[in-house]
Structure 1
């Protein structure tokens, strides 16, 4: 009888440990990325080393589908984060153009205005093509320009304040929007 009690006690204890032990693996660090500095659409310098959680996406203004659809979804996420008083203060979006030769600061401003980008927490940035390649490679994001069209990866990256990628999301496409609920959930987890 006593052996049976010990087995039951061990079993109950194991189950409790499994369910109530803090789960550090929810958003494990996938890889570290190097901090970077780029030019904002307003012409100032953006430094990613600012202790904020970032949602990083690559785009270009001539993109016919994925990029503008993603910006529409990010506009909704911007509003939700503002409602939580996290936008700009603790969380920011960093959208990096893959076509810096065409996407001048003036063109980026016009593009951002079309999506009601609030630059206090949404950084639309550019740099020279070599540095753009370097940053994209660091994020393992491939792209190639042919004529005026750029084929590019369609992932966004959740980066914590220590420059570690903690989650990767699909950008929008004509059939599916960005999973804003998952991003908000993950942001809430990292903000705790």
Structure 2
């Protein structure tokens, strides 16, 4: 199932408009731009990553920052499961990122993936649990990947505002009922946003190099 979804997402990326705003399709077989070597650049802190009330796949209440972001490097992606264009491609990229990270055991132990839905009326914990089952790797060496939702729209609103994620209703539209532009965030273990990715630049190899850059930064800090 997971392999079929990855293939379907690749086909979608090559043929569909990749957002509710236009994005060019990613190049097949790898990034369409050069990727700098880990540690050859810096990723200065942008701002603190926000918290807020969320629910995990079992329905257990959690705080996004305290329970899901602090302590490990995290890639946080914002999506919704009824989306028919951007979000399947983004989830496929997260799956590819998980597979790539699994090849580097020390990195995998320090990395955490989080997918948060901004459609709480539909994306209940049970829906997110089913969605997770279609995308998450069964490889025990892969980094953990959590799928979260919000208890309601009121709890979600301050989270979206803090991350600059605009979501508008567009009932009956092709691709899904919500209008949005995909955003993902690289967050360090101290809960600071270190990079923000649009779909155009959410390339797993690039994200892995950014993670390695932050790990090298942390190692250098510990040595001083």
Q: TM-score, normalised by structure 2?
A: 0.66
The partner residue of 1:125 within 148, 151, 172 is: 148
Partner of 2:51: 35
> Structure 1 residue 166 and structure 2 residue 194: aligned?
yes
CA drift at 1:35:
3.2
Question: How do 1:69-148 and structure 2 match up within 5 A?
Answer: 69-85=89-105, 86-87=107-108, 89-117=109-137, 121-127=144-150, 128-147=152-171
Count matched residues: 165
> Structure 1 residue 67 and structure 2 residue 67: aligned?
no
Larger Rg: 1
> Structure 1 residue 191 and structure 2 residue 215: aligned?
yes
- Distance in 2 (alpha carbons) for counterparts of 1:44 and 1:117: 22
Question: How do 1:13-28 and structure 2 match up within 5 A?
Answer: 26-28=42-44
State whether residues 70 and 177 of structure 1, in contact with CA within 8 Å, keep that contact through their aligned partners in structure 2. no
- For the residue of structure 2 that corresponds to 1:187, the secondary structure is helix
Let me know the Cα RMSD of the aligned residues. Answer: 2.4
Query: How far does the alpha carbon of each residue in 1:24-83 deviate from its partner, in whole angstroms, 9 at most, with x for none?
Result: x71011111233452111333441353111111111110011111111111111012122
Unaligned segments of structure 2, at least 5 residues: 1-38, 217-224
State whether residues 52 and 155 of structure 2, in contact with CA within 8 Å, keep that contact through their aligned partners in structure 1. no
- Distance in 1 (alpha carbons) for counterparts of 2:87 and 2:201: 11
- For the residue of structure 1 that corresponds to 2:44, the secondary structure is coil
- Distance in 2 (alpha carbons) for counterparts of 1:121 and 1:97: 17
Please identify which structure carries the higher strand content.
Answer: 1
- Distance in 1 (alpha carbons) for counterparts of 2:158 and 2:117: 13
State whether residues 27 and 167 of structure 1, in contact with CA within 8 Å, keep that contact through their aligned partners in structure 2. yes
